[in-house]
Amino acid sequence: MTTATESTPTLPTQIALQVPLWPDDVRGLPNAFARSALFCIGGRSPRRQLQNALIATVRGAEVRYKGEELRQDDSDFFMQLVHLARGYSAESLLTEPICLTPYSMLKAMSWPQSKVGYERLRACADRLKVNALKVKFQRNGELVEFSGSMIRKSVIPETSTDGRSQARPWQLWLEPEIVKLFGVYSFSQIEWAQRTELKRPLAKWLHSFLTDLGLPSQPIFIEDIRQLSGSQCKELSAFKQMLQDGLAELKKVAFVLDWKFDGGTVYVQRATEHAITRIRTTNRLIAQDQTTEEVEA
């Protein structure tokens, strides 16, 4: 699977020895995850049970997965969990748990702090633990491989009726070898404030996919996006409308400036710093006008 135009850095690869210490306002996601259907956009149908399924991905990577289908909420959970593990070495991940509270996770991901949000959170943890993942890719002639579950072990208190379940700490252990997927030029740094504002699964997937693809403006095959996002939409014309809506949402959060459809491809223009400031100012003014109108009404 390839995009119409795709560039890869030619600088040397460095196999990660620890989870990198990226800034607090971003979240790290391996490119093998961001540029594949591993965390798909799903649909209205129930999640599938996959059996060593070959996952659609860009050229140069191979991903196989066994377990319940993963979607964008699982991607949110995974990124926030790994964020809490910044600086952990493989040895540390083997012995030291990542400690968190459901409340802190829900707040960080801008999910509802409710019973529904708590149950959704726990379901994500279960899916990331009860799976088998194999990832293989080349980076400048060097083979990088990962095999295992994303979460190796967990200690999660049973749900109670005393209203304090969200405050009780969880202990989660990531698979140590997952650090391999965070080598130089092997992962993307996702702008977290933007992502938490997105609602549509396709918008979230595009946000991850486009982050480090070397844009501002290159053609991407619409059919590639449909397959790489794991869309269940059968009609390409209907998916094109979904893509239009997703890109519109990305423009609203100042991630893209504009886009243009040309036959079977779409040109996406990433927002520059100047454009980001202008878009955010415009959105703020619109929000202020709406608030004023509501007060006057």
152 pLDDT tier (thresholds 50, 70, 90): very high
Is the CB of residue 34 less than 8 Å from the CB of residue 186? no
Residue with tokens 């989870």: 19
pLDDT mean over 68-92? 97
185 pLDDT tier (thresholds 50, 70, 90): confident
Which residues fall within 8 angstroms of residue 120, CB to CB, at 6 or more apart?
Answer: 73, 111
Look at residue 53 and tell me whether its pLDDT is greater than 60: yes
- The pLDDT of residue 274 is 44
For the domain bounded by 193-296, which CATH number is listed?
1.10.10
Q: What region, left, alpha or beta, does residue 110 occupy, with left being phi > 0 and alpha being psi -120 to 50 degrees? A: left
Could you give the dihedral angle defined by the CA atoms of residues 247, 250, 251 and 253, in that order, rounded to the nearest 10 degrees? 170
Per-residue pLDDT reduced to its tens digit, 200-211: 999 999 999 999
Task: Name the residue with higher pLDDT: 13 or 131.
Answer: 131
pLDDT mean over 82-86? 97
When mean pLDDT is compared across 36-45, 241-250, 280-289, the lowest value belongs to 280-289
Look at residue 294 and tell me whether its pLDDT is greater than 90: no
Look at residue 283 and tell me whether its pLDDT is greater than 80: no
Domain ranges of the chain: 26-188, 193-296
Residue with tokens 């990962």: 146
Which residues, listed in sequence order, are joined to residue 145 by a DSSP beta bridge? 136
pTM of the model: 0.85
Q: Where are the beta strands (DSSP E) in 96-193?
A: 98-100, 131-139, 142-148, 151-155, 170-174, 187-191
Task: Name the residue with higher pLDDT: 10 or 183.
Answer: 183
Q: What region, left, alpha or beta, does residue 235 occupy, with left being phi > 0 and alpha being psi -120 to 50 degrees? A: beta
Which residues fall within 8 angstroms of residue 100, CB to CB, at 6 or more apart?
Answer: 81, 84, 169, 170, 172
CA separation for the pair 152, 94 (Å, rounded)? 9
Per-residue pLDDT reduced to its tens digit, 220-259: 999 999 999 999 999 999 999 999 999 999 999 999 999 9
What is the helix (H) or strand (E) element at residue 270, kind and residue range? strand 265-270
When mean pLDDT is compared across 11-15, 54-58, 140-144, 272-276, the lowest value belongs to 11-15
184 pLDDT tier (thresholds 50, 70, 90): confident
pLDDT mean over 52-79? 96
CA separation for the pair 290, 4 (Å, rounded)? 41
Nearest to 269 by CA among 280, 259, 255: 259
CA separation for the pair 64, 224 (Å, rounded)? 18
285 pLDDT tier (thresholds 50, 70, 90): low
